[in-house]
Amino acid sequence: MKDFMMLFHSEPNPNMEPTPAEIEAEIKEWGDWMGGIGAQGKLKNPGEALGFEGKTMHADGSITDGPYAEVKEIVGGFMIVSAEHIDEAMGLVKGCPGLANGGKVEVREIMPTEDIPSD
């Protein structure tokens, strides 16, 4: 089994103010979806949601506001799953609540640290 990180991308809508009931329903959808992956024994880490604000340090030492100051899209959260290969991990993405809201899910294999040479 390999580990894969799912990164949840979306575009924040400052004009949208969800009601408490809508927020509760979305949290339940995410919980149900992640619970289904967990029931298959493939959920390694349910991850966390990420805030909308941040800062980025550049190679020259400069710091800018926002994780992606020049684009509208943000990474809103992540989770880690186990799968035999990336196609299986992509299959786990089906039903992700973020897709229903126009978001997308990036799946990347996590390289085992023993594969990284050390000095």
pLDDT at 24 over 90: yes
Q: How far apart are CA 85 and CA 2, in angstroms?
A: 7
| pLDDT per residue as tens digits for the range 33-83 | 999 999 999 999 888 888 777 888 888 999 887 665 455 677 888 999 999
- Domain-by-domain residue ranges, the chain? 2-13+21-111
pLDDT tens string 99-115: 988 889 999 999 888 76
Average pLDDT of the chain? 86
In total, the chain counts a number of residues equal to 119
**What are the structure tokens assigned to 107, written together?**
């799946």
Q: Domain 2-13+21-111 belongs to what topology?
A: Alpha-Beta Plaits (3.30.70)
Residue 8 contacts residue 98 (beta carbons within 8 Å): yes
Supply the pLDDT for residue 51: 78
CA pair distance 118, 64, nearest whole angstrom: 31
Q: What is the pLDDT of residue 116?
A: 63
pTM: 0.79
